[in-house]
């Protein structure tokens, strides 16, 4: 014999997922709010060591200068003339961010000065040069 479902039986078998969706949305909002957005340079450089090196916390804009003279911002190699527009764009996204230049130990000093000049022309005066802490 085939069994037929009545309306009374169907009503009792529903699962209410509304509380679960509320929890998922609350967790999503929590993770979005607590995430710090850091713009990585995209390459690893061999930084010089310094005894007075300090760790700088916060959301910062990273610029890397490799030993061969390449400049990297936001995981892309750019020309020195493109530093200013890129920094201006990133400053608009993160007005409180400082710029940290990760210059390779053997990178040209003249290029470092040009990059610092472009960052200052973009309106940021809070510039740091990254170094390894000496033991």
- Rounded distance between C-alpha atoms, residue 25 and residue 64, angstroms: 37
Select from 38, 42, 40, 112 the least CA-distant residue to 80: 112
Check if the beta carbon of residue 42 is closer than 8 Å to that of residue 74: yes
H or E stretch at 22: helix 18-34
pTM of the model: 0.63
Q: What is the pLDDT of residues 92-130, one digit of tens each?
A: 888 888 898 988 888 988 999 999 999 999 998 888 888
DSSP reduced 3-state for 102: strand
Q: How far apart are the first and last CA of the chain?
A: 84
């Amino acid at each position: 014999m085939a069994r037929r479902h009545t309306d009374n039986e169907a009503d009792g078998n529903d699962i209410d997922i509304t509380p679960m969706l509320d929890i998922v949305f609350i967790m999503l909002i929590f993770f979005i709010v607590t995430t710090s957005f850091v713009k990585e340079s995209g390459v690893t450089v061999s930084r010089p060591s310094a005894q007075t090196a300090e760790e700088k916390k916060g959301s910062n804009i990273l610029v890397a200068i490799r030993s061969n003279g390449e400049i990297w911002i936001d995981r892309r190699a750019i020309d020195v003339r493109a530093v200013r527009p890129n920094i201006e764009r990133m400053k608009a996204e993160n007005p409180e961010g400082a710029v940290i230049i990760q210059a390779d130990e053997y990178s040209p000093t003249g290029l470092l000065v040009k990059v610092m000049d472009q960052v200052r022309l973009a309106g940021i005066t809070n510039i740091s040069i990254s170094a390894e802490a000496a033991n």
